[in-house]
Every structure is written in structure tokens, then in C-alpha cells.
């Protein structure tokens, strides 16, 4: 099995970050699954049409969506909660000369579960071309929905950071699929027998994405990041028609349903696709009824359900 080993300094320095690049890759994988499933939606069909006209993009996408080892220039560790796609793509373009890029592509093919030729990689400016591919996927399939995606990931980070501070690593890693805490100083990452990863004093960066499955490592030593599926669905919050939803109103019912995790009004607005004013009005009514409560954290106010709110939400 493969473990991520963290000494005391690494544990203290570990933190969370956001990565638009990782989210773009996650969305790409989801669209490819739609294509393989035989019932692609409009975005998956648009992706297929574009790839049919660009051999380099088609080859790169075919490889990275069907391998257990991502090329180095794709798996770039982010640095903070404010990481920008422009900065990640600039790092991708500057990361490797063509010979090194082709070598990491060949290594990626060794771990692919689908047969891939590499003729598409025999071009000048491999990482520049790859950055252009990710820029297009970001622009078409991620950026229009980025506020909602970011809200899901920020809620996950706040939840896990709180659990980490109060209950430790074992509980903070709960719900990350096969990833789990391996006491006393390691994270179980994979059942495959690869070399363990040793995290240095810069710590491990934990990066959520909104896909339902998928975890991978981003390595640019001494920087290491673990990308994992965020808690909470990206799909629209739905409530049952009639009953309590009819009594309190569908809008307030959807807000109450979305508060399974503590959220700011801005996050709720992004998640539910409504205006901030609409969310604030619903929260005020729910707060007056005693089913939600607001708690300040820094400059933000996070709303969460009270026990009465949990009982009411269970009926929706």
C-alpha cells in the first residue's frame, strides 16, 4: 500500500487550498464518463466535437482521463485559497521543456488502463499546448459555474478544518473515499504498492474538488498536495413538493435543506442560484422562527441549523 507520511513539522504546516486547475481536470473526467456512458449531455457533446478537430487536445484528454499517474505539468500543487487559474496555467507553460514533458507523458501511459499512442505529443511547446487545452476546458465548462463550485469547496474546507481542530486527523479525513488516517503519522492513500510519500516542513496541502469520485497527488517537491472529493453535492438542492415545504415556502425550504453544512449567505446564493437579497430574506425568516442561527467567523457570518431546524429539514 502507499502512505503519505507526515512528521510533526509537516502536520503543523499542513493546510487547505483551492485549485481551479484541479477543478477543471475533475470536470473533464466527469464529461469523459458521460461520453463513455453512452448518454452524453450538451457539454459532453461539445467537448467531443472540439476534440475531434484537435489531435493534440484529443490525445492529451484521452490519456489523462484514463491513467493512475498524471503528467507532472497537469498535477500542479496549489498554494492558497486564492489560487488563480491564470497562475496555474502560467506555471504549467513554464514547468518543463519538451523532452521532459514527453518523458512524463510516457510515464503516464505506463499506468493508463486504455491504450494510447503518443504521436500527438510529438509537437513543439508541449506544455504551452497543454495549457491552452486546460484554458479552453476552464472557459467552457468550469468558469461559468465557478462561484457555485467554489461555494461547495469552501464549505467542505470549513467543515474539515473545524473537525481537524477539535477531533483530529482521523475524523477530518472521514468521507474522502479510501483515504484515511493511518496512525501515528501517515495517511493511507492507495492499496497499490508504490513508494511512500514523505511530506517535508512545508506541509501537505489538502485540495477539494466537486466531482463525486477521484483523488490524486500533485507533486512539485517540496510542494505536495492531495486532491479529494468535497463533501456535499454540486447538484441543485431539491425538496419534496407539498407538506412542510408548502407551509414555509419552497425558497425557505431549499435554504434550510442547503444548510446541512454551515454556509454564508453568499455561498447559499451561489449554491441555489438566487440573489443574495433573496437568501438574506429567507434566512431572516428562518432565524426568527428559531430553525437557523448565525455565528460570526472573522468578517463572515455562517448560518447553521438548530436542533429544531434539523428536525424540520428531516421532513422536507
Q: Are 198 and 263 part of one and the same domain?
A: no
Q: How far is CA 108 from CA 66, 104, 118, 172, in A?
A: 9, 6, 11, 31
Q: Are 50 and 119 part of one and the same domain?
A: yes
State residue 165 phi and psi, 5-degree precision.
-70, -30
Q: Are 172 and 141 part of one and the same domain?
A: no
The answer to the question of residue 152 being in a domain is: yes
* pLDDT given at position 196: 86
Q: Are 31 and 66 part of one and the same domain?
A: yes
* pLDDT given at position 73: 96
Beta strand pairing call for 223-229 and 204-209? parallel
Q: Are 163 and 273 part of one and the same domain?
A: no
Q: Are 38 and 137 part of one and the same domain?
A: yes
What is the gyration radius of the CA atoms in the chain, in angstroms? 21
* pLDDT given at position 53: 93
Q: Are 90 and 62 part of one and the same domain?
A: yes
* pLDDT given at position 45: 95
* pLDDT given at position 37: 83
**Residue 285, number of CB atoms within 10 A of its CB:** 16
Q: Are 123 and 264 part of one and the same domain?
A: no
Q: Are 24 and 101 part of one and the same domain?
A: yes
Structural domains counted in the chain: 3
Cis amide leading into 184 (omega within 30): yes
- Per run of 10 residues, the mean pLDDT along the chain (length 316 residues) is 90 96 96 88 94 95 95 95 97 94 96 90 96 98 94 92 91 88 88 85 95 90 93 65 76 88 88 88 92 88 91 84
Task: Record the pTM.
Answer: 0.87
Q: Are 223 and 260 part of one and the same domain?
A: no
Q: Which of 104, 119, 146 is the last residue of a domain?
A: 146
End-to-end CA separation in angstroms for the chain: 43
- E-assigned strands of 162-257? 180-182, 186-190, 197-199, 204-209, 216-220, 223-229
Domain that holds residue 94: 20-146
* pLDDT given at position 242: 66
Beta strand pairing call for 204-209 and 15-16? parallel
Distance CA 196, CA 182 (A): 13
* pLDDT given at position 234: 66
pLDDT digits (tens, 9 = 90+) for 94-147: 998 999 999 999 999 999 998 789 999 999 999 999 999 999 999 999 999 999
Q: Which of 229, 254, 287 is the last residue of a domain?
A: 229
Amino acid at each position: 500500500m502507499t502512505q503519505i507520511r507526515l512528521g510533526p513539522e509537516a502536520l503543523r504546516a499542513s493546510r487547505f487550498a483551492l485549485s481551479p486547475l484541479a477543478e477543471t481536470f475533475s470536470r473533464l473526467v466527469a464529461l469523459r464518463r458521460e461520453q463513455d456512458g453512452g448518454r452524453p449531455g450538451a457539454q459532453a457533446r461539445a467537448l467531443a466535437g472540439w476534440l475531434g478537430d484537435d489531435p493534440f487536445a484529443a490525445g492529451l484528454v484521452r490519456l489523462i482521463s484514463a491513467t493512475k499517474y498524471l503528467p507532472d505539468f497537469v498535477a500542479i500543487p496549489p498554494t492558497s485559497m486564492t489560487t488563480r487559474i491564470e497562475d496555474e496555467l502560467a506555471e504549467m507553460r513554464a514547468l518543463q521543456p519538451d523532452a521532459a514533458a514527453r518523458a512524463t507523458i510516457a510515464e503516464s501511459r505506463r499506468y493508463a488502463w486504455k491504450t494510447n499512442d503518443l504521436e500527438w505529443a510529438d509537437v513543439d511547446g508541449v506544455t504551452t499546448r497543454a495549457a491552452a487545452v486546460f484554458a479552453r476546458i476552464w472557459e467552457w465548462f468550469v468558469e461559468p459555474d465557478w462561484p457555485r463550485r467554489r461555494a461547495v469547496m469552501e464549505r467542505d474546507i470549513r467543515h474539515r478544518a473545524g473537525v481537524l481542530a477539535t477531533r483530529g486527523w482521523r475524523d477530518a479525513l472521514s468521507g474522502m473515499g479510501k483515504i484515511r488516517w493511518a496512525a501515528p503519522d501517515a495517511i493511507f492513500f492507495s492499496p497499490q504498492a508504490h513508494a511512500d510519500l514523505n511530506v517535508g516542513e512545508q506541509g501537505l496541502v489538502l485540495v477539494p474538488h466537486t466531482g463525486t469520485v477521484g483523488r490524486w497527488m500533485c507533486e512539485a517537491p517540496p510542494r505536495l498536495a492531495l486532491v479529494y472529493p468535497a463533501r456535499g453535492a454540486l447538484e441543485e438542492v431539491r425538496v419534496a413538493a407539498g407538506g412542510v415545504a408548502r407551509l414555509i415556502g419552497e425558497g425557505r425550504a431549499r435554504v434550510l435543506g442547503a444548510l446541512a453544512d454551515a454556509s454564508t449567505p453568499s455561498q447559499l446564493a451561489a449554491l441555489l442560484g438566487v440573489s443574495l437579497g433573496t437568501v438574506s430574506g429567507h434566512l431572516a425568516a428562518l432565524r426568527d422562527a428559531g430553525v437557523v442561527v448565525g455565528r460570526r467567523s472573522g468578517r463572515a457570518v455562517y448560518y447553521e441549523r438548530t436542533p429544531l431546524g434539523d428536525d424540520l429539514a428531516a421532513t422536507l
